[in-house]
Amino acid sequence: MKVFKKEITENFWVELIPASPDRKEYLLYNETLSGYGDYWDINFYKREKLKGIISFAVKDGKANSLPKAPFGGFWMEELVHSEEVDFFIQSMEQKLKSIGVYELSLTLAPKPYQESQDLFSYLLFKSGYQFSGALAHQFFVGKKKLKKAVQQDQPKFSKKILQNKVQITCHPVQNFSFLEEIRQWNRSRGYEVSLDEGRIINQVSEFPECYHLISVWQNEQVVAHTLGVNLTPKSLYYFQSAIDPKVSIKNLGEMLLMRLFQLAVDLKVDFVDLGSSDLENEANHSLMFFKSKFSNDVSNKLTWKKAF
């Protein structure tokens, strides 16, 4: 044990730098938002090789990883040992304290994104962090399983398209009129609308290759949208889906997801993230049941907090 601790202190080191403009694997670690303070990266190295990163927004002594994002947390290049994780956590705290941080909050990505997240949660708990909340994300995991599922469902998918006399398009975002349609359709259904159009426009403009708009058309009228996002190069995130409440086409939601899965196969990703399904104070069981028909895994994103 002592030999390993000596190796940690001699071979591993951490740096705190203002948010780097270099492209990061997790898409939203490339974003800085106005009004949330200064953005910082904490990089974890073994000798000169970068092994991991966590990014924070820091304002008024409070650090958050990551505001207005599905999650933040630790992003590692490879699996790590427990003492390496512990060293990263303790070093992170020291670096944050050096810039006046006295309270921090971080939301870890679900496990399909980062295999070491359970280990990080355990060691955060052991380091005095308080569990603050959980949201369950539903996934379809496995590149080969995705391909097999799409092949099996393709005849049924094609039949539904013909029966309903619809067309489905999938292409990069070319204009942003779909955002207002999503807003109007969801409002008509009485759903809470939390759509930051300016932010989405900025993201798409900066990283157009990561955003894929899927739309359903009938009689040259658009009746449904969903946006698929590559939050990482090996994942596809199901984001901002909506259906025109004035149409009575059956299985529109399923058709959107079937096309999303076809896109996932085309992009050769490892998994599809169908996101969380929460109402204000309880689980949205009907939405979770719908997504269960298109998922084979559930993984929680956990939020941890600590005051120094």
Number of domains in the chain: 2
Kindly report the CATH number assigned to the domain that includes residue 112.
3.40.630.30
Residues 154 and 73 in one domain: no
On the CB side of 52, CA atoms within 13 Å amount to 27
pLDDT of residue 246: 92
Residues 147 and 122 in one domain: no
pLDDT of residue 190: 80
Banded model confidence at residue 7, pLDDT cuts 50, 70, 90:
low
Partner residues linked to 300 by β-bridges:
136
Residues 152 and 122 in one domain: no
Give yes or no for residue 300 having a pLDDT over 70: yes
288 within some domain:
no
Residues 20 and 117 in one domain: yes
Sign of CA dihedral 63, 39, 18, 22: positive
293 within some domain:
no
Residue 20 is given by DSSP the state P
284 within some domain:
no
Residues 169 and 131 in one domain: no
Residues 168 and 76 in one domain: no
**Which residue range(s) make up the domain with 37?**
2-135+301-307
Residues 131 and 147 in one domain: no
The whole-chain average pLDDT of the chain stands at 93
Banded model confidence at residue 78, pLDDT cuts 50, 70, 90:
confident
Residues 6 or more apart whose CB falls under 8 angstroms from that of 43 comprise: 14, 15, 17, 50, 52, 53
Dump pLDDT digits (tens) for 272-292.
Answer: 999 998 877 889 899 999 999
Dump pLDDT digits (tens) for 56-70.
Answer: 999 999 999 999 999
Total-model pTM: 0.92
Residues 151 and 260 in one domain: yes
Dump pLDDT digits (tens) for 116-155.
Answer: 999 999 999 999 999 999 999 999 999 999 999 999 999 9
